[in-house]
DNA sequence: CCAATATCAGTAATCATTCCTATTATTAGT
DNA sequence: ACTAATAATAGGAATGATTACTGATATTGG
């Protein structure tokens, strides 16, 4: 599911990779599109999206905010973390309470004022683990769930 | 920025809140819409979205995956966390390395197999802190940045 | 050199979410 | 209660990000 067959380095892919590696920021696809177009005015936005996904699948770059883009809501207000199943997208609650010492651990590693954090555990839910031991080829059904 | 004036509890708001609190899952807006429609067939999806935002602003429910929805990319593959400025959306890297003991801390708190995690620190970046001490009313410009 | 395959540009389609508007409900003041 | 002012709603249109499609162009293997 990660490093694939060695990727054919076309001009477009090389330039996209170069432009992303050139910046210290964490640009969105259309920001990258804007930059790349300065060097390749005819490139299409679709190529940028396709290439970024490809490079990320190769492990050559990283997507951040890897969680699904659909917003979810939680009727429980008491602070607690979640764990998400990477196979079926199901989200479960963890017991209430914060990871002790977490924010303190980072306070002297950044020039930001730290005021909070988001933490999500990733894993395999009992149902998907069971499917797997039974040899069901579940593939990767995207986060539809529930 | 959190608890506001006491909310007028209309029928729609009450039913949306009830339906969300009734489930242990973490539904998307349209899942809630489907459920609520069983009791109020004429409710509109817009009302569901508006109400969920409202309830979250009151602190009566929680939005999860609170990060901005636009996908961002990172040219650095070495594992590292990010910190996001809540005011301007800017994302900065933290030094490479994982929070020690984090996944181990949760292994016995869930029936999922834990295989990873995402952690994002939240805070105020130096530029926004400076704006604030200078009394500039920056409001909350959404994650446009860079 | 040619056929099979991959990649691309350009554009249309999709999906979640937000915005808009006319209508309906609620509140406050008399 | 009656009415004007205000708030909330339904329904649908608009937006913005992302993905899918299509015909053209490039690349590779034989």
Q: Residue B131 pLDDT more than 70?
A: yes
Residue B25 is nearest to which of A24, A60, A146, comparing CB atoms? Answer: A146
Write the pLDDT tens digit of every residue in B35-86. 999 999 999 999 999 999 999 999 999 988 655 568 899 999 999 999 988 8
Domains, chain B, ordered by start: 11-58 (1.10.10.10), 68-146 (3.30.1490.190)
pLDDT band at A65 (very low <50, low <70, confident <90, very high): low
Residues recorded for chain B: 146
Tell me what the mean pLDDT of segment B2-9 comes to. Answer: 63
Is A140 an interface residue toward B (CB < 8 Å)? Answer: no
Q: Residue A129 pLDDT more than 60?
A: yes
Sheet holding A82-85, edge to edge: A91-93, A82-85, A113-124, B113-124, B82-85, B91-93
- Mutation pick from A28, A32, A54, A73 vs chain B, by most beta carbons of B within 10 Å, is A73
Dist. CA A24–CA A142, nearest whole Å: 30
Tell me what the mean pLDDT of segment B14-28 comes to. Answer: 94
Write the pLDDT tens digit of every residue in A21-62. 999 889 999 999 999 999 999 999 999 999 999 999 999 999
The total of other beta-carbon atoms located within 10 Å of residue A16's CB is 28
- Give the per-residue pLDDT at A144: 42
Write the pLDDT tens digit of every residue in A78-123. 999 999 888 777 889 999 999 989 999 999 999 999 999 999 999 9
The HSE-up count of residue A33 (CA atoms within 13 Å, CB side) is 13
State the DSSP code for B117.
E
pLDDT band at B139 (very low <50, low <70, confident <90, very high): low
* pLDDT, mean over chain B: 85
Q: Is A75's CB within 8 Å of B126's CB?
A: no
């Amino acid at each position: 599911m990660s490093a694939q067959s060695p990727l054919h380095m076309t001009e477009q892919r090389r330039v996209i990779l170069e432009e992303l590696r050139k910046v210290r920021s964490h640009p969105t696809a259309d920001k990258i599109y804007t930059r790349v177009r300065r060097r390749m005015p005819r490139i299409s936005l679709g190529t940028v999206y396709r290439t970024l996904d490809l490079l990320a699948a190769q492990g050559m770059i990283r997507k951040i905010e890897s969680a699904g883009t659909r917003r979810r809501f939680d009727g429980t207000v008491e602070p607690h973390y979640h764990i998400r199943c990477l196979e079926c997208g199901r989200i479960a609650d963890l017991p209430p309470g914060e990871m002790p010492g977490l924010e303190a651990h980072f306070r002297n590693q950044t020039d930001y004022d730290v005021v909070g954090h988001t933490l999500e555990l990733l894993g395999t839910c009992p149902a998907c683990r069971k499917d797997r031991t039974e040899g069901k080829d579940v593939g990767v059904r995207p986060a539809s769930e529930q």
